[in-house]
Chain A
Amino acid sequence: MTAIVTVRVQHEDFDTAAEIAALSHGRTDIGAVVSFSGLCRGNDHDTPIAALTLEHYPGMAEAEIMRHAEEAMARWPLQGLTVIHRHGRIKPGENIVLVVTASSHRQAAFEAAEFLMDYLKTNAPFWKREETADGGSWVEAKSHDDAATARWTS
């Protein structure tokens, strides 16, 4: 059966269970489905956050995620994958990002999901702005995210 690759950049929320079902429904060749959900936290280092606003680069965001989805498909024996990234204003507890990978065996599914998340954090053109009581500020990129991404090229 052919692999299904789905990449979506959208403001609307998504249904994680429905996305997993869509990827695996009716398939008998899938032995492992790994999903990662990124949610908006209500605080950052004890500072309460009212909401996050995610800015993105329309067009490049989709293309960059698709490029890495295709790389994941080439590096691991996957039956399919889904990546959804939201933009706009997102409140604590709400979904930001979803990665679902499906494979015959768990190792490929786990590794591909980690690979995709590491690259999403450092290469996909999205920027987070936190709303706090003092107004707000742009979230700074973290060096440990760069380090996490670098291990896939070593």
Chain B
Amino acid sequence: MKVKYFAWVRERIGKAEETIEPPADVRTVGELITWLTARGEGYAYAFEKPKVIRAAIDQTHVQADAAISGAREIAFFPPMTGG
């Protein structure tokens, strides 16, 4: 699946997007954050406060307990500050 990062999440991880293949036991957005956190320092820094991180599956806002099965694109970003 494709993962996209925005704003300071993107800066801390050091890339705007990547393609990942998490193991089958990673089932939810929250579990995906935990799995990504273990991938390196940038990820750990980006996800150091997981409750702050917002997520979208296929461009729709979701909560941490949302299932990632079948997702084409998952995005992680800080709280929005537009307007």
Contact = CB atoms under 8 A, between A and B. Distances in A.
Q: Do A and B come from one complex?
A: yes
Interface of A: 38, 54-57, 59-61, 63-64, 85, 96-97, 117, 120-129, 138-141, 145
B82 A85 contact: yes
Interface in B30-83: 56, 59-61, 75, 77-83
Contacts, number: 72
Contact of B81 (A59, A117, A140): A140
B7 interface: yes
16 contacts: A54-B82, A57-B75, A59-B59, A60-B75, A64-B59, A64-B61, A96-B83, A97-B83, A121-B80, A122-B79, A125-B56, A125-B75, A126-B83, A127-B6, A127-B80, A138-B7
Interface of B: 4, 6-8, 56, 59-61, 75, 77-83
Given A57-B4, A57-B59, A60-B75, A138 B81 contact: yes
Among B6, B78, B80, chain A packs the most CB atoms within 10 A around the CB of: B80
B42 to A, nearest CB: 16
B12 to A, nearest CB: 11
B59 A121 contact: no
A120 B7 contact: no
Given A124-B80, A124-B82, 19 more contacts: A55-B7, A57-B77, A60-B56, A60-B59, A60-B75, A63-B59, A64-B61, A97-B83, A121-B82, A122-B80, A123-B80, A126-B81, A127-B6, A127-B8, A127-B77, A127-B82, A128-B81, A138-B8, A139-B81
